[in-house]
Structure 1
Amino acid sequence: MTWASFALRRTRRFAASLWVLVTASFLMIHLIPGDPVRGALGLTAPVELVNARRAALGLDDPLWAQYLGFLRGLVTGDLGTSMISNLPVAQTIGERLPETVKLALPAFALVLLVAVPLGLVMAVLTRGGRRRGGELAFTSTSVFLAAIPEFLLAVGLVYGFAVQLAWFPVAGRDNLSSYVLPVLALAIAPAAILARIVRVELLSVLGHDYIRTARAKRLTARLVYTRHALPNALTATLTLAGITLTSMVVGTVLVENVFAWPGMGSTIVASILQKDYPMVQGIVLVYGAMVLLVNLLVDVLLAMLDPRSLIKEG
């Protein structure tokens, strides 16, 4: 398979997935039982106000007309209007999305900085069945950390380091110290999972003939592990890293609410409670598009790192 056909196939897959996401997010409001406008404004809202809001949102138009209008709005960046604040959904998302990114990207960087070196070190120390005790301790600890829900971990960090020790703020984002606990809450479990994957992949790579050849050439251990072993273990690691990044962005929903962080997570929870369905619709669409885009980038990076994958797909 050539690069052109690979790019065309991935683009078609991305476009099809994006269309499914857009259609599902559009139908979300119409599949909700009852009147979404009445649910958002409350049972005591005047009928005139409810009817006016329905007309303003175009909910009285035929479904096909609403769908076409929704698609036209997406092309121009119009995600609708909030039923509660009466502000454009795109405006609110534009204000809140950067705050979520400010949490997710540092957490993802921390995951990579911890997981990859730790997985490499543990693979080197435990290869060939050596240091069974260290392997058991690493596996048990990583499984335990990976099993802790982000919400519970965030609460525990707040209680231990903010309430008891008073080292960090309980909530908010006043200064750099405000980032420490929420970033840790997002990064600990993914780092534990990724470190295990890196170790397993490296153990497999270290048993290959080209690694024995590199050692026979009397290359230094640093060159053997970092230049020959680690790059060949990055395929599965990169795939999982892409999944980790998307899950961390979505995982900010709970963490942001624990730390009162003014991002997308706290916004979508508040919108669900207030039955502000256009806002929920817009945030779900943005989250989904981010997941699809990251998956597309991971596929391209994998093809660049391992051109043999193009031949396998062809």
Structure 2
Amino acid sequence: MNGKTDTLVGSSKLVRDKRKVSKLQSQRKIDLIGFAFISPWLIGFIGFILGPMIASLYFSFTDYDLLSAPQWIGFDNYIHMFTNDPRFLQALKVTFIFVFVSVPVKLAFALLVAMLFNTNRKGVGLYRTIYYVPSILGGSVAVAIVWKQLFSTDGAFNDILAVFGFQGVNWIASPDYALSTLILLVVWQFGSPMLIFLAGLKAIPSELYEAASVDGANGLLKFLKITIPMLSPVIFFNLVMQTIQGFMAFTQSFLITQGGPLDSTLFYAVYLYEKAFGHFDMGYASALAWILLGITAIFTMFIFRSAKSWVYYESEGGK
């Protein structure tokens, strides 16, 4: 009996082992098929994102002009950046002002328009499309040229001011107003966050507003106590995305003002581009790029950390 029992136990163990091997082989086939499907993305990620990032990190510690071999100089690029480069500090200042002004104004305007479009009135779909067009055009060369013409000395904006008796100026060429015109351009391109806000508004149950009306709440109270809390995840998403886009802003300054006048619109990305492809100082430009990555990461992390105190998730029962 013991011999038969041992044989049965050995046979069952062998069957289990074969099943395990078969499962492992099947899982490997599934994994290989999965990797085969994502291989184009992996190749692109390694070749066009991860690889260049590692290379730029190395170049940031070198003196490299694209024509000769890079020379290792350690932290000299970073030390020079913070101690002996006033244009770097000016680019930081301009970019911070641009982000801190344009992002809140753009989101506020996008939310306002989204609330106006959150109706079932006839033709509202057409208006939504029309208001989204500026975001589709985005940072195109045509928009930049038109914007530059609008705010020039003989542009349409000065013509409108002349009707009311105001004397026009060359807004693009004035250090006091040039940055404001670029901020206005970005705010005008509010279509993308507007559509996201609109989707969030439609997801808010109408019963909440009806119950608030029964309790005697006015429009402002409904907005503060219902709309904002229920819309806070969408606000959070838009805030993160627009902040990142703000720090990477390039097209508006490069095409309209070229960073001038007197560096009053010198966006960080424009200064980085100038160092890389204007002066061929690729090592210094790489250091600038990593500083920009660090600044963007810090602000993004701050927004994520602060979200715990103001973002409401219904599934968590509150903030």
Short-chain TM bin: 0.5 to 0.7
Q: 1:248 is aligned with what amino acid?
A: G
Percent pairwise identity: 7
TM-score normalized by the length of structure 1? 0.66
Of the candidates 272, 295, 298, which is equivalent to residue 303 of structure 2? 298
1:162 aligned onto 2:152:
yes
Contact 1:110/1:187 (CA < 8 Å) preserved in 2?
yes
Matched, 1:268 2:272: yes
Question: Which letter maps to 1:303?
Answer: K
Indicate how the Cα distance of structure 1 residues 181 and 307 shifts in structure 2: closer, same or farther if over 3 A, else same.
Answer: closer
State the 1:22 CA deviation: 12
Q: Partner residue of 2:184?
A: 184
Q: Distance in 2 between matches of 1:227 and 1:158?
A: 42
Superposition pairs for residues 17-166 of structure 1, below 5 Å? 27-28=55-56, 30=58, 37=64, 39=66, 54=71, 57-58=72-73, 69-70=74-75, 79=78, 81=80, 92-123=87-118, 126=119, 130-133=120-123, 135-152=124-141, 153-162=143-152, 164-165=154-155
Query: In the alignment, which of 185, 209, 212 is matched to residue 210 of structure 2?
Result: 212
**What amino acid sits opposite 2:299 in the alignment?**
V
Work out the CA distance in 1 between the residues paired with 2:314 and 2:125. 34
Asked whether 1:193 is paired with 2:198, we answer no
Q: 1:56-107 CA deviation, whole Å, 9 max, x = no partner?
A: x43xxxxxxxxxx55xx7xxxx61558xxxx967654223211222223222
Which segments of structure 1 move beyond 3 Å, counting only runs of 4 or more? 21-26, 29-32, 35-39, 87-92, 170-173, 306-312
| Aligned amino acid, residue 154 of structure 1 | A
Rate the CA distance shift 1:97–1:269 in 2: closer, same or farther, 3 A: same
- TM-aligned CA deviation for residue 151 of structure 1: 4.3
Query: CA, structure 1 residues 38+306, in 2 after alignment: closer, same or farther (shift >3 Å)?
Result: closer
CA distance in 1, matches of 2:140, 2:184: 12
Secondary structure of 2:224's match? Answer: helix
Shift of 1:110: 2.2
State the shift of 1:172 in Å. 4.5
The AA in structure 2 aligned to 1:185 is L
Q: What letter is aligned with 1:247? A: Q
Q: Distance in 2 between matches of 1:119 and 1:231?
A: 16
Gaps of 5+ in 2: 1-48, 159-167
Q: Which runs of 5+ in 1 are unaligned?
A: 1-20, 44-49, 59-68
- Say if 1:168 and 1:178, in contact at 8 Å, map to a contact too: no
- Answer whether contact 1:256 1:265 (CA < 8 A) is retained: no
Between 1:153-162 and 1:21-30, the stretch displaced more is: 21-30
Is the alpha carbon distance of 1:231 and 1:116 closer, same or farther for their aligned partners in structure 2, counting shifts above 3 Å? Answer: same
Q: 1:26 to 1:154 in 2, by over 3 A?
A: same
Greater share of helix: 1
Equivalent AA in structure 1 for residue 151 of structure 2? F
Does 2:251 match 1:254? yes
Describe the shift of the 1:268–1:151 C-alpha distance in structure 2 as closer, same or farther (beyond 3 A): farther
**Structure 1 pair 238–168 and aligned structure 2 pair: CA distance change class (3 A):** farther
Q: Which amino acid aligns with 1:103?
A: F
The CA deviation string for residues 9-32 of structure 1, in whole angstroms up to 9 with x for no partner, is xxxxxxxxxxxx999756316579
Task: Answer with 1 or 2: which has the greater Rg.
Answer: 2
1 CA distance for matches of 2:313 and 2:136?
Answer: 35
Structure 1 residues 242, 229: CA separation in 2 closer, same or farther (over 3 Å shift)?
Answer: same
Q: Contact 1:142–1:196 (CA<8 Å) still a contact in 2?
A: no
C-alpha separation between the residues in 2 aligned to 1:230 and 1:38?
51
Alpha-carbon distance in 1 for matches of 2:295, 2:84: 17
